[in-house]
Amino acid sequence: KFKRSDIADVLRRLERHYNVDFLCDETVNGLSITGNMDISGDCENALENLSIVSGISYRKEKDGVYAITMERR
């Protein structure tokens, strides 16, 4: 459960839970999120749900690191 949580804090929690690494660019700095998040599925499912509510986009790099950016609208 998140209440006005910084997106960086949310992603750090997901990194620990899924044992993955995220590389965020500066476009996500200062973004906050409020709500409940189901993390019972896999990492990509959690990221997809996060992208829907927050507007971030992600891609998995060759080295397994997920690159996180803000979607252009």
Residues 37-58 have pLDDT tens digits of 888 899 999 999 999 888 899 9
pTM of the model: 0.84
How are beta strands 22-24 and 56-60 bridged, if at all? unpaired
pLDDT for residue 73 is more than 70: no
pLDDT for residue 65 is more than 90: yes
Give the mean pLDDT of 2-19.
Answer: 91
Are the beta carbons of 18 and 11 closer than 8 angstroms?
no
